Amino acid sequence: MTEKRYWNEKVETLPRHELEAYQLQQLREHVAWAYEHSPYYRQSFDAAGVGPDTLESLDDLRKFPFVNKQTERERQAAVPLLGDMVAVPEEDVVFVSASSGSTGMATLSPFTAGDFDDFQDAEARLFWAAGMRPRDRYVHALNFTLFVGGPDVIGAQRLGALCIWAGAIPSERLLHILKEMQPTVTWTTPSYAWFLGETAKKHGIDPATDLAIRKIIVAGEPGGSIPATRQAIEKLWNAELYDFYGISDIFGACAGMCAVREGLHIVEDQILMEVLDLNTQQPVKPGEAGELVLTTLRKKARPMIRFRTGDIVKEFPELCPCGRTHKRFEVLGRVDDMFIVSGVNIFPSDIEYVVRNLPGLNGEYRITLYRENHLTKFEIEVEKDDLSASETELADQLSHRIKSRLGVRPAHVKVLPENTLPRATHKAKRVVDQREEQATG
Ligand SMILES: [Zn+2]
């Protein structure tokens, strides 16, 4: 028997016009649900003069107001525990995740039993697209404590893989599991995949030959979509990298790479995507960068209508050769991480792209932002992996390549010996912003 190519062939390969007709019908029902059951949405739609009847086409969604993390926080504080964006009584809620709360109070994301079922079906679909099969052993090494990615392991179980619930454990223990149980798939951040591979080597384990990992799912940082970063991790592990995208406000993963690995397919029968210009909030042209705005189509507990994610993405305008008709995008960075130099928008991932492609460097880098004569300047520190290379030459080459890719030059480039920059375990801190300190001190 030939193996099926898709988790849900009918849904994943629906012709665009049928998919869009289905989305419109779902959206109408979902907006009506939010309007009838969520005090917040009723008030906000009334104030904007919109409602379920506004939606004659998908484009009419643009008439609806945005929500964001701040809205979630405010509504939760106003109406504890879950806030009044919620559209079901608490007794119908079976699961909540919470965001890390690094920039304010943690926001909770509630699910009904039906939402949770949709969530795990979406995860199974994304795992299948990334090539996970029932014969795989999957080690789930994400945090289980309140984190929305924790339960994704259930999606892998639904798919039929043998699942190892490791959670966030010390790297030595995780390496022990990788060695003893020889799992074939895991999920982590790009920084941690690198760190874990390097740690393995220090313990005399070669991840490429002593371990069985053949697929690494990554999320949480843009690295998984940067070719040179991806290739470096793949070489270290002798495995393929698949980038996933999730947010605590919706699903542990909302989108993921298929075998083609050009962009991440969004689960478009459940979540609508818009890509909007940062200044005008109008749709950008296909292929241009903009902020990702997501709208749920079914999540009953707390509908998300036009949620501004703060992530900058670029949509792939063409259909994917894999046969899936659902849209694909690439994550470029966070709005918050973007900085502007001489009028040019720069993401740390742009710099990473150049650093990882320059022979003689080991790929580590740190960007420092500072002000000089009221202008933002940036300095880059990198490490060389070739002892014989000239530091001045490497610095000149890097500066030149950044200028030709981005149109602006770093104020300084420092080429350092290996192992000088601090190493990250989970999410890497690549940007040091000294502009605020300068302003206050
Ligand atoms: Zn595809």
Q: Are 239 and 183 in contact (CB under 8 A)?
A: no
Where is mean pLDDT largest: 70-84, 101-115, 375-389?
A: 70-84
For residue range 297-324, what is the model confidence (pLDDT) as tens digits?
999 999 999 999 999 999 999 999 999 9
CA of 257 to the centre of ligand 1 (A): 7
pLDDT of residue 216: 97
Q: What are the tens digits of pLDDT across the range 22-78?
A: 999 999 999 999 999 999 999 999 999 999 999 999 999 999 999 998 899 999 999
User: And the tokens for 360?
Assistant: 């003689």
Q: From ligand 1's centre to the CA of 207, what distance in Å?
A: 28
State yes or no: pLDDT of 288 exceeds 90: yes
Q: Say how many Å lie between the CA of residue 143 and the centre of ligand 1.
A: 28
pLDDT for res 292: 97
Give yes or no for a contact between 64 and 281, defined as CB atoms under 8 angstroms apart: no
Q: At what angle do helices 171-181 and 190-202 cross, to 10 degrees?
A: 80
Distance 10 CA to ligand 1 centre (A): 15
Tell if the pTM clears 0.95, that is, is over it.
no
What confidence tier does 103 reach under pLDDT thresholds 50, 70, 90?
low
> Which residues are found with C-beta within 5 Å of the ion, ligand 1?
258, 260, 320, 322, 324
**Ligand 1 centre from 286 Cα, in Å?**
17
Whole-number Å distance, alpha carbon 319 to ligand 1 midpoint, is 8
Assess whether pLDDT exceeds 90 at residue 387: no
Pick the CATH number of 339-440 from 3.30.300.30, 2.40.110.10, 3.90.79.10, 1.10.1740.10: 3.30.300.30
**What is the band of 337 on the pLDDT scale with cuts at 50, 70, 90?**
confident
Centroid of ligand 1 to alpha carbon of 320 (angstroms): 5
Q: Name the superfamily (CATH) of residues 1-334.
A: ANL, N-terminal domain (3.40.50.12780)
State in Å: Cα 311 to ligand 1 middle.
21
**Ligand 1 centroid, distance to 315 Cα (angstroms):** 13
How would you classify the pairing of strands 375-384 and 361-372? Answer: antiparallel
pLDDT at 439 over 60: no
- Comparison of pLDDT for 434 and 28, the residue scoring more: 28
Q: Which residue has the higher pLDDT, 244 or 105?
A: 244
pLDDT per position as a tens digit, 358-371: 999 988 899 999 98
Mean pLDDT of 164-179: 96
Q: Are 337 and 307 in contact (CB under 8 A)?
A: no
On whether the CB atoms of residues 155 and 121 are closer than 8 A, the answer is: yes
- Give me ligand 1 centre to Cα 14, in Å: 13
CA of 322 to the centre of ligand 1 (A): 4
Choose the weakest-confidence range: 14-18, 184-188, 285-289.
285-289
Cα(299)–Cα(118) distance, integer angstroms: 8
Q: 158 CA distance to ligand 1 centroid (A)?
A: 21
CA 129 to ligand 1 centroid distance, Å: 8
Nearest-angstrom CA–CA distance, 88 and 33 = 10
Confidence of residue 405 (pLDDT cuts 50, 70, 90): confident
CA 17 / ligand 1 centre spacing (Å):
18
What is the mean pLDDT of the segment spanning 214-235? Answer: 88
- Per the listing, tokens 């220090």 go with 202
If one counts every other C-beta atom within 10 angstroms of the C-beta of residue 91, the result is 6
* Nearest one of 338, 280, 289, 277 to 315, comparing CA atoms: 289
Give me ligand 1 centre to Cα 100, in Å: 31
Q: What is the largest CA-CA distance in the chain?
A: 70
Instruction: Give residue 295 CA to ligand 1 midpoint distance, Å.
Output: 21
Checking if the pLDDT of 178 tops 50, the result is yes
Report the separation in Å between the CA atom of 234 and the middle of ligand 1, taken as the mean of its atom positions. Answer: 20
Per-residue confidence (pLDDT) for residue 1, from 0 to 100: 60
Give the CA distances from residue 211 to residues 137, 188, 189, 208, in Å, rounded to whole numbers and listed in that order: 12, 16, 18, 6
What secondary structure does DSSP assign to 297-334, as a single string?
SS--SS--SSEEEEEEEEEE-SPPTTS--S-EEEEEEE
Ligand 1 centroid distance, CA of 284 (Å) = 22
Ligand 1 centroid from CA 375, angstroms = 42
CA-based angle 363:368:371, to the nearest 5?
155
**Two structure tokens written together for 228:** 């040179």
**Under a CB-based contact definition with an 8 Å cutoff, are residues 356 and 229 in contact?**
yes
Looking at residue 67, its pLDDT comes to 97
Strands 361-372 and 328-334: unpaired
Query: How many Å lie between the centroid of ligand 1 and the Cα of residue 56?
Result: 30
Statement: residue 105 has pLDDT above 80: no
pLDDT at 441 over 60: no
The listed range with the strongest mean pLDDT (130-139, 225-234, 402-411, 421-430) is 130-139
Distance 120 CA to ligand 1 centre (A): 20
- Residue 196 in this model has a pLDDT that exceeds 90: yes
From the CA of 202, how far away is ligand 1's center (Å)?
37
What local confidence, expressed as pLDDT, does residue 316 receive? 97
264 CA distance to ligand 1 middle (Å) = 8
pLDDT value of residue 438: 63
Residue 440 pLDDT more than 50? no
**Mean pLDDT in residue range 218-229:** 83
User: What token pair was written down for 224?
Assistant: 């998984």
428: pLDDT confidence band, cut at 50, 70 and 90? low
- Residue extents of the structural domains in the chain: 1-334, 339-440
**Same fold for the domain at 1-334 and the one at 339-440?**
no
Grade residue 171 by pLDDT with cuts at 50, 70 and 90.
very high
The mean pLDDT of 277-303, rounded to a whole number, is: 95
Q: Residue 13 C-alpha to ligand 1 middle, in angstroms? A: 10
**Using CA atoms, how far apart are residues 36 and 170, in angstroms rounded to an integer?**
47
What's the rounded Cα separation, in Å, for the pair 139 and 172? 14
Q: Please give the distance, rounded to the nearest whole angstrom, from the Cα atom of residue 75 to the centre of ligand 1.
A: 38
